[in-house]
């Protein structure tokens, strides 16, 4: 009997010592389900001021102010509550709805379950204040007019072309219908439309106010009136308008320099700097990588100076207060690294405007201490000095700027400085030959960019369809081709009020891999 008792206790203790695991089953991947809507979805003759959405589980709203698209847009956004986890969402309308109009509430990806964040994708609640639900639609594609990358959260709008319509409506009024690409889609569908004539516009609406602000917003538009129903697929290209020139209030940034910022395009403006009795001699340069000009002058023992800025019909007069500050002095900075690639130019930047370059005080030698033939090219606007010479492969170069090689407008000369740099072998680079077909017009600008859009090489063609890019750094290149319609050598943007589209930009669908010691021969058909 004692043996049986001991055996029983041993088994019992062993069983208690074993660890057990509770499993929660498979992960929930099912999005919330709508159980009830009050009024019912697709209700006609709608006259309520509150909408209730009931779900089968607790849900939460994420970025609802950004994700929820109401079409037509309302002057006052409805109140949506609660914003905590709930099984019931209430939408309180704060204005009377338009008569005989179909409204669509597209929640995008804002409704998620509370536990696993499963999204109820693109749920739409649709009602009509009239006798029926409008059922027509319009489809299209969004792209950027210049960049390969397309913005997200682009609004696509339809404005009704009735007796009240004018082109300026995009600045003043909300559209009749609206949808949004949200954070991923580049295509769009405007649903629940009424038959009629419309203007189609796309807007990267920074302020999210459904109105075009040309200072900050991108816009794309279709030039012709659209008549719905229409089964066409429309393409809208977003662009940022060039702004009219404006200047910011200038300020003294050094004892011998005034800085004036600007917005818009500079076209050789004239700047005058005056005391009460005379006009001062000045030099105007561009602040490096900034939309600002530097106005250089000999230091003055005055309280203020008068600055006049003029470009075409734009003119501004300023008073610039002066105080004792540090004087900018001449320093020289190289703009290149120690490796100079074959498609690059060795250059240096001067901190103050130069008036003289004495090449006899510049020593330029190779690794064998043999003198290298060169000439300097000075850009007065950017204060950059380029060294033009024939580069040799696997060569080491030394440039010594002896004291007095450069003299600036303040009669200051540079201190002696030495720069060393080298080149690589030609086999460290690749060559690319582009064969273009289907070119609709000349001239064209051909650009090779990296993945960030930085231009690594460029060419201009007035008739040639075979373009050689030799000695390229090994890289995956994006090919961008611009139709230079006005022959000014740069891409030109559009203008909404002038109904002017941008110059056309073509991107090759496949990036081109250029490797070391490779010759790549690539045919590109611009005729799509």
* pLDDT score of 15: 41
Split at pLDDT 50, 70, 90, the class of 356 is very high
Q: What is d(CA 162, CA 198) in angstroms, rounded to the nearest whole number?
A: 9
DSSP labels, 239-269: BPPPPPPEEPPPEEEETTEEEEEEES---S-
Contacts of 184 (CB under 8 A, 6+ apart): 152
Q: What is d(CA 288, CA 286) in angstroms, rounded to the nearest whole number?
A: 6
Tell whether omega for the bond before 39 is within 30 degrees of 0, i.e. cis. Answer: yes
Cα 3 to the center of its chain, rounded Å? 85
What pTM was estimated for this model as a whole? Answer: 0.84
* pLDDT score of 121: 86
Check if the beta carbon of residue 242 is closer than 8 Å to that of residue 265.
Answer: yes
Strand partners, 305: 320
Contacts of 227 (CB under 8 A, 6+ apart): 196, 197, 198
* pLDDT score of 9: 39
Q: Which strands sit side by side in the sheet containing 136-144, from one edge to the other?
A: 187-193, 136-144, 233-238
Residue found by looking up tokens 């072309």 in the block: 161
**What integer is the mean pLDDT of 101-114?**
91
Rg (Cα) of the chain, in Å, rounded?
34
Q: What is d(CA 336, CA 424) in angstroms, rounded to the nearest whole number?
A: 15
Cα 399 to the center of its chain, rounded Å? 39
Mean pLDDT (the chain) is 92
Q: Indicate whether 25 pLDDT > 60.
A: no
Q: Indicate whether 197 pLDDT > 60.
A: yes
For residue 385, the tally of other CB atoms under 10 A from its CB is: 22
Check if the beta carbon of residue 388 is closer than 8 Å to that of residue 377.
Answer: yes
**What integer is the mean pLDDT of 118-126?**
91
* pLDDT score of 10: 44
* pLDDT score of 400: 98
How many secondary structure helices (H) and strands (E) does the chain include?
Answer: 3, 41
Check if the beta carbon of residue 332 is closer than 8 Å to that of residue 352.
Answer: no
Range with lowest mean pLDDT among 77-86, 196-205, 421-430, 473-482: 77-86
Q: Indicate whether 6 pLDDT > 70.
A: no
Tell how strand 292-296 and strand 332-334 pair up.
Answer: unpaired
**What integer is the mean pLDDT of 140-168?**
94
Q: Kindly state the tokens that stand for 528.
A: 């799509």
Q: Which domains does the chain have, with CATH numbers?
A: 34-128 (2.60.40.1220), 136-238 (2.60.40.1120), 246-321 (2.60.40.10), 332-424 (2.60.40.3710), 428-525 (2.60.40.10)
The torsion angle over the Cα atoms of residues 194, 497, 210 and 174, rounded to 10 degrees, is -50
Query: How many CA atoms does the CB half-sphere of 30 hold within 13 Å?
Result: 8
Q: What is d(CA 455, CA 445) in angstroms, rounded to the nearest whole number?
A: 12
Q: Indicate whether 457 pLDDT > 70.
A: yes
Q: Kindly state the tokens that stand for 297.
A: 């002058």
Q: What is d(CA 355, CA 317) in angstroms, rounded to the nearest whole number?
A: 28
* pLDDT score of 14: 42
CA-CA distances (angstroms) from residue 512 to 223, 430, 439? 34, 11, 19
* pLDDT score of 23: 47
Split at pLDDT 50, 70, 90, the class of 3 is very low
Residue found by looking up tokens 């910022």 in the block: 261
**What integer is the mean pLDDT of 389-400?**
97
* pLDDT score of 330: 97
CA-CA distances (angstroms) from residue 460 to 11, 280, 524? 90, 41, 16
Nearest Cα neighbor of 143 from 223, 78, 237, 72 is 237
Check if the beta carbon of residue 359 is closer than 8 Å to that of residue 376.
Answer: yes
* pLDDT score of 5: 42
For 500, counting Cβ atoms within 10 Å of its Cβ (0-12 exposed, 13-18 middle, 19+ buried), the class is middle
Split at pLDDT 50, 70, 90, the class of 176 is very high
Q: What is d(CA 469, CA 84) in angstroms, rounded to the nearest whole number?
A: 59
For residue 236, the tally of other CB atoms under 10 A from its CB is: 20
First to last CA, the chain: 95
Nearest Cα neighbor of 177 from 260, 71, 248 is 71
* pLDDT score of 18: 40
DSSP labels, 328-344: P---EEE-S-SB--TT-
**What integer is the mean pLDDT of 241-257?**
96
Nearest Cα neighbor of 360 from 296, 403, 322, 298 is 403
**What integer is the mean pLDDT of 331-355?**
95
Split at pLDDT 50, 70, 90, the class of 309 is very high
Check if the beta carbon of residue 474 is closer than 8 Å to that of residue 190.
Answer: no
């Amino acid at each position: 009997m004692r043996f049986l008792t001991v055996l029983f206790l041993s088994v019992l203790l062993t069983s208690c010592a074993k660890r057990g695991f509770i499993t929660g089953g498979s992960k929930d991947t099912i999005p919330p389900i709508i159980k009830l809507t009050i009024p019912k979805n697709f209700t006609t003759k709608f006259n309520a001021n509150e909408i209730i959405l009931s779900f089968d589980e607790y849900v939460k709203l994420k970025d609802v102010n950004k994700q929820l698209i109401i079409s037509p847009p309302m002057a006052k956004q409805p109140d949506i509550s609660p914003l905590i986890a709930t099984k019931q969402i209430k939408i309180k309308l704060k204005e009377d709805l338009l008569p005989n109009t179909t409204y669509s509430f597209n929640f995008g990806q804002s409704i998620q379950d509370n536990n696993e964040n499963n999204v109820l994708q693109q749920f739409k609640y649709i009602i009509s204040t009239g006798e029926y639900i409008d059922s027509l639609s319009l489809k299209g594609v969004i792209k950027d007019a210049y960049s390969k990358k397309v913005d997200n959260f682009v609004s696509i709008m339809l404005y009704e072309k009735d007796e009240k319509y004018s082109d300026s409506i995009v600045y003043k009024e909300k559209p009749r219908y609206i949808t949004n690409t949200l954070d991923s889609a580049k295509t769009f569908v405007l649903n629940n439309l009424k038959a009629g004539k419309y203007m189609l516009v796309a807007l990267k609406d920074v302020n999210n106010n459904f109105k075009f602000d040309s200072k900050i917003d991108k816009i794309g538009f279709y030039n012709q009136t659209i008549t719905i129903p229409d089964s066409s697929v429309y393409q809208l290209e977003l662009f940022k308008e060039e702004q009219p020139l404006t200047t910011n209030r200038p300020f003294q940034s050094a004892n011998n320099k005034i800085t004036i910022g600007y917005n818009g395009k500079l076209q050789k403006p004239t700047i005058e700097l005056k005391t009460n009795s005379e006009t001062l001699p000045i030099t105007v340069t561009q602040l490096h990588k900034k939309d600002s000009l530097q106005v250089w002058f000999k230091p003055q023992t005055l309280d203020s100076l008068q600055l006049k800025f003029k470009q075409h019909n734009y003119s501004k007069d300023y008073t610039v207060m002066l105080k004792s500050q540090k004087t900018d002095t001449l320093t020289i900075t190289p703009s290149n690294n120690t490796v100079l690639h074959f498609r690059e130019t060795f250059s240096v930047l001067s901190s103050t405007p130069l008036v003289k370059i004495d090449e006899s005080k510049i020593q330029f030698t190779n690794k064998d201490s043999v003198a290298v033939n060169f000439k300097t090219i000075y850009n007065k606007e950017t204060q950059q000095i380029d060294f033009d010479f024939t580069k040799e492969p696997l060569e080491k170069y030394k440039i010594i700027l002896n004291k007095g090689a450069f003299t600036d407008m303040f009669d200051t000369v540079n201190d002696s400085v030495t720069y060393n740099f080298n080149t690589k072998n030609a086999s460290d680079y690749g060559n690319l030959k582009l064969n273009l077909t289907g070119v609709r017009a000349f001239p064209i600008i051909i650009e090779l960019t990296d993945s960030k859009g930085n231009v690594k090489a460029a060419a201009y063609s007035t008739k040639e369809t075979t373009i050689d890019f030799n000695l390229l750094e090994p890289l995956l290149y994006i090919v961008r081709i611009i139709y230079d319609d006005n022959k000014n050598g740069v891409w030109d943007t559009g203008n909404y009020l002038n109904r002017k589209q941008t110059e056309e930009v073509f991107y090759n669908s496949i990036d081109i891999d250029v490797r070391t010691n490779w010759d790549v021969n690539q045919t590109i058909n611009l005729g799509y």
